[in-house]
């Protein structure tokens, strides 16, 4: 089971930007981050967890929720065992706790997650 640690959350004004990071560790022998699809989910108070974005193991494939397309960009640096979520033009409705998840299956990671981190809080407010 991977250990995932999110960071980079905080309080930002509408229209501002944040970059979230998801650092992975705990790989078994011959297993590396490039074996895993990484996804970002978020959960606002009183709402269900929703998928935000995911990136395939090599980075060649990405997907985004309609609500964040054109504003968020997911990327990965396998050498650093880290995945990023660049969030621009933030809106109050982006306020949530953001979680990263990892799974060897692209479909599973992008739809239901996998191994989870503890999350990082993003608050968009003036």
Instruction: Supply the Cα-derived Rg of the chain in whole angstroms.
Output: 14
What confidence score (pLDDT) does residue 123 get?
98
For the chain, give the number of residues: 126
What confidence score (pLDDT) does residue 120 get?
98
The SS3 call for residue 10 is strand
What confidence score (pLDDT) does residue 118 get?
96
Distances (CA, A) of 47 to 43, 84, 91, 111, 124: 6, 24, 17, 17, 17
Count of helices and strands (H, E) across the chain: 1, 11
| pLDDT averaged per 10 residues in sequence order, the chain, 126 residues | 93 98 78 84 96 94 97 93 96 98 92 93 97
What confidence score (pLDDT) does residue 31 get?
64
């Amino acid at each position: 089971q991977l250990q995932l640690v999110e960071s980079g959350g905080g309080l930002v004004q509408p229209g501002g930007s944040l970059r979230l990071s998801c650092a992975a560790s705990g790989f078994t022998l011959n297993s590396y981050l490039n074996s895993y699809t990484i996804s970002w989910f978020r959960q606002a108070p009183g709402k269900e967890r929703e998928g935000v974005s995911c990136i395939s193991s090599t980075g060649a494939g990405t997907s985004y929720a309609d609500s964040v397309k054109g504003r968020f960009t997911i990327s990965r640096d396998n050498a650093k065992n880290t995945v990023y979520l660049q969030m621009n033009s933030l809106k109050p409705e982006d306020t949530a706790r953001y979680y990263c998840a990892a799974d060897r299956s692209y479909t599973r990671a992008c739809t239901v997650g996998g191994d989870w981190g503890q999350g990082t809080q993003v608050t968009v407010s003036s």
